[in-house]
Every structure is written in C-alpha cells, then in structure tokens.
Amino acid sequence: MRSIVAFAIVISTLTGCDYLPTAENTAKKAVKDSLFDPDSAKFTDVFKGTGDNNYCGWVNAKNRFGAFVGSTPFFYEGMSSGIGFAHLVPEPLTDRDFKRLVEPGTFDKERFISQFGKIRDGCEAAANWERVCGVSFPRETHRLCEGIGEKNYTSHLYKEFYSNNE
C-alpha cells in the first residue's frame, strides 16, 4: 500500500513537469537542443500548430556571452514517428544582408553560399511559419524576398544597389 501512495505522490508532482514525454515537451526539447545554453531556455506563448505534433512559440535563451538574446520565434514540425525538426526563426533581414550577397569585388563561393542561405532561410520563414503554425507570421517579410527563386535574382539585387551608384 505504501508503494502505491508513494507512486501516486511522484506522479502528481511530475504532472506539470517538462520531463513527461508529451508532444509539446518533445518539441521544447528539440528547440533546447538547438540552443547554445539549453538550460537557460524560457518558453512563452507556446501553442499547437497545424499538425498533431507541430508546436510554435517563442524562446529566450542565453548566448555564448551569457546574455539573454530576447524572444525568438520557433516552430517544431513533429513526425508521426516521434521525431521532428526544430526551427528557430532567423532575425529579420536587412537591406545590408541582400547587398552583401552581390557586393562588387568580394565574391567568394563559400561566403556567397552562406549569405544566400541566410537570405533564403529568412525569406522562407514566413511561409514555413504559416504552414506549420497555421497563423500569420509575427513580422514583415523583407521586400527583396520577392523573386528569390527566379533565374536572374542576383542580377536584380545588383541593379537594386549598384546600378545608380556607378
């Protein structure tokens, strides 16, 4: 009888705990695993997304300097097999991000690939958020994201920033 009472006490204390294997806790763990300081993660406004195992919200955590970076949107795409993918939404893109991609005299293949990846991820964030979370993206998409998949996209960017200056 004592073991049943002890078991009931342990279960009742774990009810609000983040260690229970719920879909939401699986999502939070995946997000934590992508952070520099997982133990510092503070989640707010977490909500269920479009699929059974999809979750969205905001997380604030410490960076490598020990400072909190501010609330960052995240979404988690859970698969039926119990695994999924956590995505931290990148910082909003600026004109400078696009300009760096086509800066004259600085072409380096690795830098170009890295910068284009940053831009692509930033531009796709709104569509991915809306697909997984089922609500509008919480901020504006940069105006230069339009046409990112088109053939002459980098030529368009070059003209945007440099054709009037040279």
Beta bridge partners, 85, equal: 77
Mean pLDDT, residues 8-13 taken together: 46
- Greater confidence (108 vs 37) lies with 37
Residue 4: predicted pLDDT: 52
The DSSP annotation for 65-101 comes to: TS-B---EEEEEEE-TTS-EEEEEPPPPP-HHHHHHH
What are φ and ψ of residue 149, in 5° steps? -90, 0
Residue 5: predicted pLDDT: 44
Q: Considering the chain, what is the average pLDDT of its residues?
A: 86
Model confidence pLDDT, tens digit, residues 125-154? 999 999 999 999 988 999 999 989 889 998
Residue 18: predicted pLDDT: 53
Beta bridge partners, 58, equal: 44, 73
Please report, rounded to a whole number, the percentage of residues in the chain having pLDDT higher than 70.
87
Q: Is the pLDDT of residue 106 over 80?
A: no
Beta bridge partners, 60, equal: 42
Residue 10: predicted pLDDT: 46
Structural domain boundaries of the chain? 20-88, 92-166
Model confidence pLDDT, tens digit, residues 63-97? 999 999 999 999 999 987 778 999 999 899 999 99
Confidence of residue 164 (pLDDT cuts 50, 70, 90): low
Confidence of residue 17 (pLDDT cuts 50, 70, 90): low
Residue 15: predicted pLDDT: 47
Residue 1: predicted pLDDT: 54
Model confidence pLDDT, tens digit, residues 27-37? 999 999 999 99
